[in-house]
Copies of this chain bind each other. A is one copy, B any other.
Amino acid sequence: MKRIGILDTTFARVDMAAAAVRALNERGTGFRIFRRTVPGIKDLPVAAREMFRREDVDLVLALGMPGRAEYDRTCAHEASLGLIWAGLLESRPIVECFVFESEASTDRELDRLARRRAEEHALNAYAMLFRPQDLHRARGSGLRQGFPDAGAVRPVR
């Protein structure tokens, strides 16, 4: 039985975790989900480390939605570095799933993008834990999350 941690924020404008949980449950079984909500993306790194330590999760999915301001990009950069350090300190994977508000031009588009990206990152998390061979088969094939895949330059043998 694997243990998956899902972190999200009150700052985000879409319930990305709901989409992630649904995608995980539709994908398979053999895991238990632990959840926690923090205020903003800068709180994610420590919360991830706490989850690894307290709930002994095998992987954390960290969901966040930086705002439109220039400063939000700086915050996202800091949070991303923090998530990488947290993963390195624990030597366990943290799948970062950030959707920038500025990636969408309408609320409806933002909602769709955020849910789709959360789902696709959740499926990546599932594959990292249960189906590494699926990731290996998809190497170099230009996969994207939330947007259409870019595709391989030429087919992977």
Q: Kindly provide the distance from the CB of A135 to the nearest chain B CB, expressed in whole angstroms.
A: 4
Contact of A153 with B by CB under 8 A:
yes
14 A–B pairs (Cβ distance < 8 Å), ordered by A: A9-B140, A10-B135, A10-B138, A13-B141, A13-B151, A13-B153, A14-B152, A17-B140, A18-B140, A39-B121, A46-B93, A49-B91, A107-B154, A114-B153
Q: Kindly provide the distance from the CB of A5 to the nearest chain B CB, expressed in whole angstroms.
A: 14
Residue of B with least CB distance to A9: B139
Known A8-B140, A16-B140, A50-B91; further 11 A-B contacts with Cβ < 8 A: A10-B124, A10-B143, A11-B142, A11-B143, A18-B140, A39-B95, A39-B135, A39-B145, A74-B77, A79-B84, A111-B154
Q: Which of B11, B13, B42, B124 contacts A39 (CB 8 A)?
A: B124
* 7 nearest CB pairs, A to B: A15-B140, A13-B142, A82-B84, A46-B87, A10-B143, A10-B138, A37-B135
